[in-house]
Amino acid sequence: MSALKTNHLGHPRSMFDTGKVIDMKATTSEANTARVKFKCRNVEVFYSGKRALHGVNMDVPDSGVTALIGPSGCGKSTFLRVFNRMNDTIPNARVAGQILMDGQDIYGRDVDPVLLRARVGMVFQKPNPFPKSIFDNVAYGPRIHGLAPRKNDLDNIVEKSLMRAGLWNEVKDRLKEPGTGLSGGQQQRLVIARAIAVSPEVILMDEPASALDPIATAKLEELIDELKEKYCILIVTHSMAQAARVSQKTAFFHLGDLVEYDDTQAIFTNPKDQRTQDYITGRTG
Amino acid sequence: MQHFLSPGILTGAFLITGVVTAFLYGRGLAVSRAQLSADDARAHSLPSYHGYFSAWIVALLAVGVIVPWVTFSGALPKFMFPAMILGAMALGFIIINRLLTPTFRARNHVERFVGGALMICSGVAVLTTFGIVLSLVFESLRFFDQVPVLDFLTGLQWSPQTALREDQVGQSGSFGAVPIFAGTFMITAVAIFIAGPIGLLIAVYLSEYANKRTRAAVKPMVEILAGIPTIVYGFFALLTVGPAIRNFAEGFGLSVPTQSAIAAGSVMGVMIIPFISSLSDDVINAVPQTLRDGSLALGATKSETMTKVIFPAALPGIIGAFLLAVSRAIGETMIVVMAAGRAANLTGNPFEAVTTVTVQIVSLLTGDQEFDSAKTLAAFALGLVLFVFTLFLNVIALLIVRKYRERYE
């Protein structure tokens, strides 16, 4: 199960790739030393034949927050959408390489992307509550997956999810009101509750705070900090300060390459690559 | 020779020459006066604006003569007309000569002229609508002098033959419009019953399932249906669909007339498919992609996303599309004239011949009729009912569609 072994099985190119394969044994300094959740080998994404992601090799730990940073168009969002196969929904998008989730290839022939997405939830850049009531928004996932055979179960799931998303106290008296009527920050926590409601193992967040004001952002970051105890979280962010605040691991992308991947602490205090240093010190990007 | 120099032709020629000359004159004047002016300051407006201003002045003065002339024609000898136009335009040139100085704000005036002209154009459309409504209302009032409103709206007997002469017997006419409304309603219902599901499913297919190339090919092809002249649909209904339904029914030992509500309604349904499919496709496409992504990312399938998220979100717009299609179906004439029959049967059976409001208006107004008889005036009353009803539907549809649009902008 060592990272190196898989490397030999992968393309020879991965040996020379800038993407650094982290040996999880080397990161035991972390308190919650974790198993590998996702093992990415030479992941490439093509849009209409154009390569947007150049052979990324990366191991995502199964607990804590992993941040993906980099300038616009560097491929970080594209990479994020690899994990729940959302790139499948884009016409002319193609993914190559191997992504193992708990050792199972999520692009394997026997994997149903619909079921995968129940295990890997996602929160988007712009809050996107459905034009339904707050309750129905959260109950949407459990209903389509048949997680709540009885009304009582559904009530429990909704309440628990909203509580976990830190929204329960604000909305418990108006569950029947439309979710679109909430403030931006509340909407973003509502869609997090909606994602939690199907009990995913992983939550992907694509710049979740970019449409929020500083106070809502602070609340969201607090929430992410709590959620990381239970879920593996991958977050794409434009804000380096945010990456530094919420994540334990950080990956820096540049022009489709994974340039550097290390403990967040190390990336921000002692970047090894010149490009990483230029970006985090504000010289590029 | 005479007709070449007829007042109309002469006037037109004068008008065009005058306006063009005024433009050139005004522009030239602006250029030369700007050069002559003592100070270095630039003219306020570009020379061409002075030209446009001059053209407008001359044209307005000429029209100012033409309108009263046409209204009170005959008071003066014909040759006076071109002369008066010339006079008016000469006056225009004098005004131009006075006004055009480098400091003259020609551009602002031209903008005002343009704004006014555009307003008048839209005014024509609005006034025409008012005119039609008023004529409908007044003629209907004359009809309701002869036939009580309540009898018209609730009567069950429609036989509009009235006595032409005093000594005719048994032709008093009866104007109970309920059978006509019922027939209209039934044919519309048949049409929507066919066009609704098909149009909606086409929209779903085009917006959610078809790839770009299929969509680009199929959508225009569906929309062609709306471009086929209704008379073509009419004889298609009469000569193909009607007999086909009759033959089909005969196979079961039933007798169905060639002209029936179902023949006319089904063909009309085909005609309004594109109304529903195109509008619904637009509103489904207007549902933000983020909602689709949100649903798919929760592990919903495409069809779950469609039925549980996209469709409810697009529902107000889809209802709007349906209402517009209904009002189109109610007002449709040619298909029903040819394929629905003229007998005002009050029936709930779509396999019988029925008649519609539009068909009755056609039959009331064709042929030799006295214009002030109850029979002809009834057409206006029917038209008024039709107008009020479709207007009502359109307003509701537009309100729903607008409300829906606001939500995502």
Place of tokens 């555009």: B118
| Residue B128 reports pLDDT greater than 90 | yes
Quick one: closest CA in A to B210, which residue?
A91
The count of domains in chain B is: 2
Residue B166: per-residue pLDDT: 54
C-alpha torsion sign, points B317, B318, B319, B320: positive
Alpha helix (H) residue ranges in chain A: 3-9, 13-16, 76-80, 113-119, 134-144, 151-164, 168-171, 184-196, 214-227, 240-246, 264-269, 274-280
**pLDDT tens per residue across span B79-96:** 777 788 888 888 988 988
Q: Which of A80, A82, A112, A117 to mutate to test the interface with B (most CBs of B within 10 A)?
A: A117
Q: Record the pTM.
A: 0.74
Please give the residue range of the domain that contains residue B53.
Answer: 3-119
Structure tokens at A210: 């970019």
Mark yes or no for CB contact B212/A91 under 8 Å: yes
Are B47 and B179 contained in the same domain? Answer: no
B150 inside domain: no
ipTM of the complex: 0.82
Task: Report yes or no: B297 at the A interface, CB cutoff 8 Å.
Answer: yes
Are B78 and B202 contained in the same domain? Answer: no
Are B192 and B288 contained in the same domain? Answer: yes
Are B185 and B73 contained in the same domain? Answer: no
Average pLDDT, chain A: 84
Cβ contacts of B409 on chain A, cutoff 8 Å: none
**pLDDT tens per residue across span A12-45:** 333 333 334 444 444 444 444 568 889 999 999 9
| Residue B334 reports pLDDT greater than 90 | no
B152 inside domain: no
Q: Binning pLDDT at 50, 70 and 90, where does residue A10 land?
A: very low
Give the homologous superfamily in CATH for domain A3-280: P-loop containing nucleotide triphosphate hydrolases (3.40.50.300)
B139 inside domain: no
C-alpha torsion sign, points A223, A224, A227, A228: negative
Q: Report the DSSP beta bridge partners of residue A204.
A: A122, A234
Continuous segment of H or E residues that includes residue B359:
helix B357-365
Alpha helix (H) residue ranges in B37-105: 47-71, 80-99
Q: Which residues of A touch B (CB under 8 A)?
A: 84, 86, 89, 91, 114-118, 121-122, 124, 126, 128-132, 140-141, 144-145, 180, 191, 194-195, 198
Are B110 and B179 contained in the same domain? Answer: no
Are B52 and B188 contained in the same domain? Answer: no
Cβ contacts of B291 on chain A, cutoff 8 Å: 128, 130-131
Cα-trace Rg, chain B: 31
Helix axes A184-196, A134-144, angle to 10 degrees: 20
Alpha helix (H) residue ranges in B147-288: 149-154, 178-204, 212-227, 230-236, 242-251, 261-286
B324 inside domain: yes
Average pLDDT, chain B: 84
**pLDDT tens per residue across span B33-70:** 877 766 655 677 888 888 899 998 888 888 888 777 77
Cβ contacts of A144 on chain B, cutoff 8 Å: 298-300, 304, 308
B134 inside domain: no
